[in-house]
Amino acid sequence: MKHIRFSEAEKYEPHKGWKRLSLCGEDEISIEHFVKPPGHSSPEHSHPNVQVLVVLKGKIEVIGESEKVLLNEGDTLYIPGDEMHIVSNPTNEESAGIDIFVPGRSFDFWKNKIKE
């Protein structure tokens, strides 16, 4: 077993206010907690990993290749590997969620993709 304390987990901010925290970083699966500031959108991107997004607080909008989905607290979304998508917070309040990637994705995914 491997225990990761939320307060001690590895973290970084790809954009100001967009916080990501690694809750599990294994080859088989990775889990990241995220906070999205009001109005923030990730750049359009894809990754070979399957993604399950769980909204913990607020609302999250995901624009995929063929549809746009607005998620509320408690909602989940399955995103197939290699599908282009944008994840955004369309509200005026902070949103938060969990991203689960299978197989695991490198936690530094955004570090070389985004420059402030």
pLDDT in tens, 70-97: 999 999 999 999 999 999 999 999 999 9
pLDDT in tens, 12-47: 999 999 999 999 999 999 999 999 999 999 999 999
Please name each of the domains of the chain with its CATH number. 31-94 (2.60.120.10)
Give bridge partners of residue 99 from the DSSP assignment: 32, 53
Q: State the virtual CA torsion across 43, 46, 49, 51 in degrees, nearest 10.
A: 50
Answer with the residue of higher pLDDT: 113 or 83. 83
Joined together, the tokens standing for residue 70 give: 């607005």
Give bridge partners of residue 52 from the DSSP assignment: 78, 100
How many residues are present in the chain? 116
